[in-house]
Amino acid sequence: MTTRRRKASLSADRIALKGLRARGRHGVLPAERELGQEFVVDATLFLDTAPAAAGDDLTKTVHYGELAQALVEVVEGEPVELIETLAQRLAEVCLGSELVHKVEVSVHKPAAPIPLPFDDVVVTIERSRG
């Protein structure tokens, strides 16, 4: 393992994108697939931001605007039954940048079809570069 890679893997630096909203058609019930609903995504990327900061260089970090667009495309894209599956797909997008060594993704489904009072349903996963 190179010194640079070892440094990155130990880095506690994070870029967090919170409350990203998009409409998707994910769910087990036919009505969820037909009508769709809002999903809210939180993504925290773990990476070494020192090289970007040292040179004030966007190419050495993650462009969070582009990341947000890519995540919305997943939410608005091909439906899945489980938000666990959606979270996995979102994590894969985040890990698409070689700079990111770990990601935590939460998918909120505030309008889940639960016939009881509740605030939110959230699935949170953590994935690391293999």
Catalytic status, residue 109 = yes
Q: Which residues lie below 8 Å from residue 36, measured CB to CB, with a gap of 6+?
A: 23, 24, 25
Q: How many Å from the N-terminal Cα to the C-terminal Cα in the chain?
A: 13
| Catalytic choice (7, 60, 102, 109) | 109
Distance CA 51, CA 86 (A): 31
Q: How many residues does the chain have?
A: 130
Residues with a catalytic annotation lie at: 109
